[in-house]
Structure 1
Amino acid sequence: MCGRYALTATPDDILHFLSVIDIEDFPARFNIAPTQPILIVAAEDHHQLGRNLPTRRALLARWGFIPGWVKDVRSFPLLINARAETAQEKASFRGAMRHRRILVPASGFYEWRRPAKETGLPAQPYWIRPRKGGLVAFGGLMETYASADGSELDTAAILTTKANLAIAGIHDRMPVVIQPDDFSRWLDCKTQEPREVADLMQPAPDDFFEALPVSDLVNKVANMGPELQKPIILAEPQDPPPKATAQMSLF
């Protein structure tokens, strides 16, 4: 899954990476948690010179997807992730997979490796970032929820897929990574049906990310500084990661 991530790039870096129309200034965020507002990028058509020109817009959405048919938000579970393998079939995500695919820019994400219970060891957090540095774009889904009082709230979820060999020793899931060459196809919900972008929801290449053990500061949402990403030396021996096995295609 993906339950915490960071976005520490400058607005100019994000503008260049995602080719969005405009973006407001914002501070670096080292510990983005569920229910908080997150930056997302969606496709938008602008009518110009008698034709529609596809563009991209950046906006904020609540990290916690709410389907339009929900009546009582308080009794509905928090949906921060959507499984890529089943999102097209699930009632919660089916409409968004067809009509409202988005990109979620990130500098990396956090994941916890949970040792066997008999070891008595706590979960070990890892800061997982692109090996070459820079930004990454997670595949996501968006829904604008209209409440009974007429107010609207943009909400979002991050798609996840089976972990690649580099991440599998920490967790069995990882965010879907959309490569820059595929941004337009992923965001094109007018001509690209879910089955036609299924090939984009594969695990990232095994050498794409690097995982660095970090302290448990990230466990608390109130901790928001760069010290969260400072690598540590593990003091306690960890369980050996499972043996790597070849992965088959999910589709």
Structure 2
Amino acid sequence: MCGRMATLLPHDAMAQLFGAAMANDLPDVPNYNVCPTVSVAVVTSETTVRRLRPMRWGFIPHWYKAANGGPLLINARAETIAEKPAFKAACRARRCLIPAAGFYEWERPDGGEKLPWFVQRADGAPMVFAGIWQDWEGDGQRLTTCAVVTTEATGEIARIHHRSPVILEEGDWGKWLGEEGHGAALLMQPPSEGVVRTYRVGKAVNSNRASGPELLEPLED
């Protein structure tokens, strides 16, 4: 799964990387501890123009009467995304890219204390998650929201957790965004061997109030 991430790349660098027009109200970066329900920078493609825009991380189905009117949907399972009522329309028509420096995952050896890890690309490039998005209006609010698509974990990630975000390679960005015809469903796979690296970090990140670059420092043996 993906329940916490870090975003470090400046907005102008993100806009250049994706060839996207940049919105004026993007969330502050860097953010070393991005938690659900906060705003994240997301790439969409609309009428052949890519946009870098803010969205609330936590997908809200249209039938929710309030933003907290049901389960917090930060992830969407690739195996069922096309059938789930909450996600199936977005999967067909509202796919997005969610860039990050990487994400945190926790293991619990022998059912004991939760130990945090950081997962990033082995080549140091930004990590780009497959995402879906949804406009929602209700309870006097209007929000644009998103979720990270996840799949079964393999390799490095599987040693920590059984789920992984779908991590897209640059050559697949256009296909996921719907710019290059059909075939997006074939992209919902675990990352290939060697794409990511993982390392232990300190337990400070167990708190969603923690912040600062020290959260990403490798834990010394």
Larger deviation, residues 173-182 vs 69-78: 69-78
1:71-220 map, 5 Å: 71-117=65-111, 121-149=112-140, 151-188=141-178, 191-192=181-182, 196-220=183-207
Q: 2:45 aligns with which of 43, 46, 60?
A: 43
Structure 2 residue identity aligned to 1:38 = V
> Is the partner of 1:133 in helix, strand or coil?
coil
Structure 2 residue identity aligned to 1:63 = W
Cα distance, 1:74 vs structure 2: 3.1
Which has the larger Rg? 1
Work out whether residues 4 and 35 of structure 2, in 8 Å CA contact, stay in contact via their aligned partners in 1: yes
**Closer, same or farther: CA 189–180 of 1 in aligned 2, 3 Å:** closer
Q: 1:230 aligns with which of 193, 204, 217?
A: 217
Structure 2 residue identity aligned to 1:16 = Q
- CA distance in 2 between partners of 1:230 and 1:190 (Å): 39
> Is the partner of 1:75 in helix, strand or coil?
coil
TM norm structure 2: 0.93
User: Are residue 66 (structure 1) and residue 53 (structure 2) matched?
Assistant: no
TM norm structure 1: 0.83
Residues 174-205 of structure 1 show CA distances to partners (whole Å, capped at 9, x for unaligned) of 1001111111111117943xxx3111111111
Structure 1 residue identity aligned to 2:144 = D
**Closer, same or farther: CA 72–152 of 1 in aligned 2, 3 Å:** closer
Structure 2 residue identity aligned to 1:223 = A
Cα distance, 1:2 vs structure 2: 0.4
Q: Which runs of 5+ in 1 are unaligned?
A: 46-53, 235-251
> Is the partner of 2:131 in helix, strand or coil?
strand
Residue in structure 2 matched with residue 246 of structure 1 by the alignment: none
How many residues align structurally? 219
Residue in structure 2 matched with residue 240 of structure 1 by the alignment: none
Work out whether residues 99 and 189 of structure 1, in 8 Å CA contact, stay in contact via their aligned partners in 2: no
Cα distance, 1:23 vs structure 2: 4.7
Work out whether residues 105 and 161 of structure 2, in 8 Å CA contact, stay in contact via their aligned partners in 1: yes
- CA distance in 2 between partners of 1:87 and 1:218 (Å): 30
Cα distance, 1:155 vs structure 2: 0.6
Identical residues among aligned pairs (%): 37
Cα distance, 1:16 vs structure 2: 2.6
Cα distance, 1:148 vs structure 2: 4.8
> Is the partner of 1:14 in helix, strand or coil?
helix
Q: Let me know the Cα RMSD of the aligned residues.
A: 1.7
